[in-house]
Structure 1
């Protein structure tokens, strides 16, 4: 199949496909007599794997190590371990995002409901105090002077 058809079927641009070929993510293909690249049907499968892996957060270098080697043989144990590591990374990221979300919600609530009779500097300290009370901002260490 020609690169235009592969691009249309995969949803990738022809330049992206050429990039993947140039960097060795997909096998370089022979050119026909008229100079067109002629991709085998399995190229679409590999492109879909690459696109899905990138969407899941894998870098191109990580993907390179996950793709089948040689005559299409997968390193199943390595693949499963890489997928498990990515799941663990995603879970850690979700926890960090959830902590950030909580911090922002506490900040919003504290700012919106701060006492109106405080001056600007005191309002800032009041909001930070609320964040500390909720464990969102670390409590200040006491001076040991």
Structure 2
């Protein structure tokens, strides 16, 4: 199939498909006498795997290592290891984001509950002191 058909089926821009080809993520295809690329039907699922993996947070280099080598198939153990490692990375990111969210809620609460008459600079210092104390004592994500 031509690149236009492939783009329509996958929802990817032709330039993105050419980029994946130039990057070695999909096999280069020969051009026909008329200059058009002719892609095999299986390239659709390869492109879908690439875009799904990118959405899940895999880099192009990581994706390259996940794809089946030539047509010999998957490296099963390496694939599972990479997927489990990505899950661990996502879980660590979720913990950091939850911590960041908790700290931001604390800052918002501190700003909203500033005593009347307290200068903003003094309240700012108190907020910063609470943040530092939480970080030093490892309490930033406690509770």
> What TM-score results when the alignment is normalised by the length of structure 2?
0.89
Residue of structure 2 in register with 1:83 after alignment: 83
Q: CA deviation at 1:70?
A: 2.3
Aligned to 1:109, what secondary structure does the other structure show? helix
Q: Deviations over 1:23-72 (max 9, x none)?
A: 11100112112111000000001000000011111111111111001214
Q: Deviations over 1:113-133 (max 9, x none)?
A: 011121233222232344456
- The runs of 5 or more residues in structure 1 that have no matched partner are 140-145
Residue 138 (structure 1) aligned to one of 133, 136, 139: 136
| Contact 1:114–1:126 (CA under 8 A) maintained in structure 2 | no
Alignment of 1:1-145 (within 5 A): 1-131=1-131, 135=134, 137-138=135-136
Q: CA deviation at 1:13?
A: 0.5
Q: RMSD value over aligned CA atoms?
A: 1.5
When residues 60 and 7 of structure 1 are mapped into structure 2, their CA distance, relative to the original with a 3 A threshold, is: same
> What TM-score results when the alignment is normalised by the length of structure 1?
0.88
